Amino acid sequence: MKAVIEMTVGELAAFIASQLDKHGIEVVLTGGSCVTLYSRQQYVSADLDFVERRSTRRKDLRKALAGIGFQEENRYFKHPETKIIVEFPPGPLAAGEEPLKDIIVMEFATGSLKLISPTDCIKDRLAAFFHWHDRQSLAQAVLVAQSEEIDLNEIERWSRGEGKLQEFRKIRKQLVGEKAGKK
């Protein structure tokens, strides 16, 4: 097994998720680190956001992560060999008002990692763009659209449900355009 200092973001995420799984804690990776994985590291996130599938007592989380050298500081978990911090944002796994159910499993030498699908990753980023006008989140959504097969019709349907159809139409070309450029 590699040392934590030598692990890629994906390997580290899988290492943590597998450790938690051994303790009966099922987690799904969400947030910016999914963009890192789907964009082949064109964007690098400094944290790993895991959402628990079922509520876990904090002390159980603390105990499981202590087993691989992570210690809690405020609301985050840190390891002396990496600058990447681990966070457990409150559930449920959702983009705006909808639950995210399309879970992908990636295999690494360090273990298995469950993460939200590329299409859901774009919804997650667009939620931040739509509600907070965060252009960095839009740029991340475009990176994922460039790199992965995504379901634009599904993203459009979700945007309508969020009351953001007009906003989606304004940025649709960026998602489609980049993809068409790639082909």
Partner 1 sequence: MLEPLLGSLNCERVLMFIYGREEGYPREIARFYDTELYPVRKQLDKLEAGGILASRLAGRTRIYTFNPRYPFLKELKGLLKKALSFYPPEEQEQLLMVRRRPRRRGKPL
- Can you give the binding site for partner 1, defined by CB under 8 A? 75, 89-90, 92, 94-99, 127-128, 131-132
Our CB check for partner 1 shows the closer of 108 and 158 to be: 158
Cα–Cα distance measured from residue 87 to residue 29, given in angstroms and rounded to the nearest whole number: 10
Measured CA to CA, the distance from residue 62 to residue 33 in angstroms comes to: 21
**From the CB of 33, what's the least distance to partner 1, in Å?**
18
Cβ atoms of residues 28 and 53 within 8 Å: yes
Write the burial class of residue 43 (CB in 10 Å: 0-12 exposed, 13-18 middle, 19+ buried).
Answer: middle
User: Closer to partner 1 at the Cβ: 80 or 90?
Assistant: 90
Nearer to partner 1, 88 or 108 (CB): 88
Query: CA 160: distance to chain centroid?
Result: 23
Q: Closer CB to partner 1, residue 34 or residue 127? A: 127
Min dist. Cβ of residue 7 to partner 1 (A): 28
Give the C-alpha separation, 108 to 72, whole Å: 25
| Residue 80 CB, nearest approach to partner 1 (Å) | 25
Q: Taking the complex as a whole, how short is the minimal distance between the CB of residue 82 and partner 1, in angstroms? A: 24
Residue whose structure tokens are 């859901």: 120
